[in-house]
Amino acid sequence: MGEKNEQDELLQKAQKVCSGREYCISDIMSLLDRWGARDEKTKSAVINKLIGEKFLDEVRYCRAFARDHFTYSQWGRVKITQGLKSKNIPAEAIAAGLEAIDEGEYLALLRKIIGEQQKRIKAKNRYDLKGKILRHALGKGFESHLVYDVINSVFNDRSSE
């Protein structure tokens, strides 16, 4: 009787938390641990009910995570993927989540970041400047081939002026 009561109490707490914002399974598992869930059976029962009632959805979480970190933190796909992998989210869900990022907006943000860095950075020469911009953009999580292309197009546009 006590185990069922504990499970219901944990389920209600988790439903309340999940109704406020998106969570992934690993986040809820951590919360259940903090709330004192005794065994794996109880945790998995709560998680399964949350998934069944659509309180938890890994793909929906990935879309929200990708959209928010792209928009507000200006992260690239590589860094977003690493953040999601650290939460033990399956690769299929991560791929579906990354589709929430529009390709045009993605390239526009990369151009904006490179342009801002180009104005802000002091460098001895053109190669030093390119290297510093490259490291910054890669640190933000943008793919290297896109960063190279955008840096080269920015510098080629600038040299033709």
Q: What is the spatial distance between Cα 93 and Cα 98, in angstroms, rounded to a whole number?
A: 9
pTM over 0.85: yes
CA dist., res. 72 & res. 55, Å (int): 24
- Judge whether residue 121 has pLDDT over 70: yes
Q: What is the pLDDT of residues 54-109, one digit of tens each?
A: 999 999 999 999 999 999 999 999 999 999 999 999 999 999 999 999 999 999 99
Longest Cα pair distance anywhere in the chain, in angstroms?
Answer: 78
Q: Residue 150 CA to chain centroid, in angstroms?
A: 23
Residue 103, number of CB atoms within 10 A of its CB = 8
d(CA 107, CA 91): 23
41 burial type by CB count under 10 A (0-12 exposed, 13-18 middle, 19+ buried): exposed
- Alpha-carbon distance of 156 to 142, in angstroms, equals 20
